[in-house]
Structure formats: C-alpha cells, structure tokens
Structure 1
Amino acid sequence: MLLAVGGPTLVLRQRHGRGWIVDDVVTAVTVSGLVCLSAAVGLALTRRAPGPVARETALYVVVGVFTGVGAAVGTWRVLDDQALAQGWVGLLAAYVAVALHVGLGVTARRRRPAR
C-alpha cells in the first residue's frame, strides 16, 4: 500500500524542476510509473480469494483513482517539459497500473470459500 501511495506522490510534488525527493521531472515520472506498476502487480498477486467485496473494491478504486491522478499530472509535466522517451516509459507504466487497478476492481466480487 505504501508503494501505491508513494508513487504518485513523487509526481504530485514536482514543480518546475523542484520536487519532494527527486528534482528531475523525467526521473520522477519514470520512478513514479514503475513504483505504481509494481504496487499494482503486488496487489494483484496478493489478492485473497474469499475477500469482503466492499472493502476490496473500495481499495482498488481509491488506489486506482490516486494512481490515475498521478498519471495525469505526470503527463502534464512531461508535455510541459518536453521530456525524453524515458518519461513516456514511466507514463506507460502508470497507465498500465491504472488499467490493472480497474481490472481488479471490476473483477472483485464475493466468492464462496472452497470446501
């Protein structure tokens, strides 16, 4: 969960070459996208089979929306600074993470425990 929140935070705090942890826009967007993707894959791999629907779906929705906002802001930063292809790789990773969160949220439904 910390990765899912920490990834977009790198981009959200980035303004005019000054960031919270990373000062370079391209590096911040790339690291943010890769961190978001690793968090999404981690959530997908550790998903429990018989989970409560409301909490599980809400988790995927909240994390997916936050990742989507981070990807949108990252897109704005990359377009504004006319960044290199490395920035676009990070954005692609962030958008794949958003799609994975949406897929996990859609497929989260009450499953009966195996007997």
Structure 2
Amino acid sequence: MPRRRTHLARDLALLLLALGAPTLVLRQRHGRGWIVDDVVTAVTVSGLVCLAAAIGLALTRRAPGPVARETALYVVVGTFTAIGAGIGTWRVLDDQVLAQGWLGLLAAYAAVALHVGLAITARRRPAR
C-alpha cells in the first residue's frame, strides 16, 4: 500500500511566507527598514505576500487533520498578519503614502479576513 504524501515542504513554505511577510513592515521606520528601505514598497510587498500565502493556505487545506492544531495555525498566522497590517497602517498614515501603499494594506486586510474565515470554517473532515 503506497504511503500518502504529506507535502510538508509546501506547507512550511506557505507558513514561512505568511509569517515572514509582516516582518517587512515591523522594522520599517521613516524610510529605514530591516530589508526594504522604502515604506511604500515594504507595505505593498508585505500585503501582497500575506494575501498570496493566505490564498495558498486556503487552497491547500489538509484533510483529515486535527481541528485544534489547524485552527490554532490560522489564528496565530492571522494575528501576526493583523499586527503587521496595523503597523503598516500606522506607517502609511505617518508617511502620507499614496495609492500603492493603500493597495498593500487592502491586501493585508484581505489576508486577515481570509485567515479568520479559515479558522472559523475549520472542522474535522472525514478521511478520504
């Protein structure tokens, strides 16, 4: 009987993207950042990567799985994304950034909403 594939590398890559993207904004202050020096670029890239990771996590939901761990994962990642989006909002308002920064923030808020939706709809699924 063949072993079922677990796709651990894909899950870890999505998790690292989801947790790594908000760190672009967390260290950003008045044009000096940890990785990216521009506030607009940091907020935009962070928001878009958070949204891409959230969509990836939504498309690759594992079945069956322990519900408590799956819900906790979405809550932790969603909380960290929300913190990044909140700090990004502060940076955008502080530097009076134009539309590109707001697009990144909109993407980050959409990622937070998607994580909340995934955490709410997580339920035990029957084995295939």
Q: Flag whether TM exceeds 0.5 (same fold).
A: yes
Superposition pairs for residues 67-82 of structure 1, below 5 Å? 67-82=81-96
Q: With the length of structure 2 as denominator, give the TM-score of the two structures.
A: 0.87
Unmatched tracts of structure 2, length 5 or more: 1-14
Aligned counterpart, 1:12: 26
RMSD of aligned Cα (Å) = 0.7
Length-normalised TM-score, structure 1: 0.97
Aligned match of 1:32 = 46
**Runs ≥4 in structure 1, deviation > 4 angstroms?**
none
Identity, in percent, stands at 84
Structure 1, residues 73-93: CA drift from partner, whole Å, max 9, x if none?
000000000001000000000
Cα offsets for 1:50-89 (capped at 9, x unmatched):
1110110000000000000000000000000000100000
Q: Which residue of 2 aligns with 1:95?
A: 109
Q: Tell me which structure has the larger Cα radius of gyration.
A: 2
The alignment covers a number of residue pairs equal to 114
Aligned to 2:36: 22
